[in-house]
Amino acid sequence: MSETLAVPVLTGDRVVLRPHRTDDLDPILERCLDEDTRRFTTIPLDYTRAMAQDYLDTLLRPSASTASWAIELQGGYAGTIDLRSLPVEGGAGALGFVTHPAYRGRGAMSDAVRLVLAHALDTLGWQLVQWTAHAGNWGSAKVVWRAGFPLPTFVPDLLVERGQVLDAWVSTLRQGATRVPVAPWDEVYAALRR
């Protein structure tokens, strides 16, 4: 059996990343019922409390391939961020995150992404971290831009969700990158709108 991917407590300027707890259930359910969360994720449209409990139960179990943190801001659950390891030499993974609607626009996710990237690239020594999102998910794109990801590539028909094929944005941050924005946001925004 593979070694579990640890979920250490990570502390940033604004947030604390911690393992999920049973009392995260209600805010996870609230997050999963949010219109934007449903729009940009694979969450079922008929999401129920039982589904939220099953999801939380998964997060509470150690995993060899995924490390998931609860994002805490000022004592409240602000979202979830995870690393999913890829089976490649030298270590690599995919970054995923979702913000609770009450905490959007407060810098929580930007701080969380910086912490997780430092953990993956510096502590674990991974060679790269990938990010993929629906084309048009501007909030997600701005978060990874702040963290220094290169200008995302537009990939048509990459995602298959709820019986539809969707366009995506993809970017990869490599070991040794400066982790600062690669260009002003207005230039990135203009490039992605094409």
Distant-in-sequence contacts of 21-25, Cβ < 8 A, 24+ apart: 21/60, 21/70, 22/56, 22/60, 24/56, 24/59, 24/70, 24/77, 25/49, 25/52, 25/53, 25/56
**114: closest CA among 104, 129, 125, 100?**
129
Q: Is the pLDDT of residue 172 over 60?
A: yes
- The pLDDT of residue 1: 36
Distant-in-sequence contacts of 184-191, Cβ < 8 A, 24+ apart: 185/142, 185/145, 188/141, 188/145, 188/151, 189/138, 191/151
Burial of 81 (C-beta count, 10 Å sphere; 0-12/13-18/19+): buried
Burial of 35 (C-beta count, 10 Å sphere; 0-12/13-18/19+): exposed
pLDDT in tens, 8-57: 999 999 999 999 999 999 999 999 999 999 989 889 899 999 999 999 99
Residue 143 half-sphere exposure toward CB, CA atoms < 13 A: 27
pTM for the whole thing?
0.94
> Which domains are assigned to the chain?
10-193 (3.40.630.30)
pLDDT in tens, 86-131: 998 889 999 999 999 999 999 999 999 999 999 999 999 999 999 9
Cα separation, 62 vs 97, whole angstroms: 18
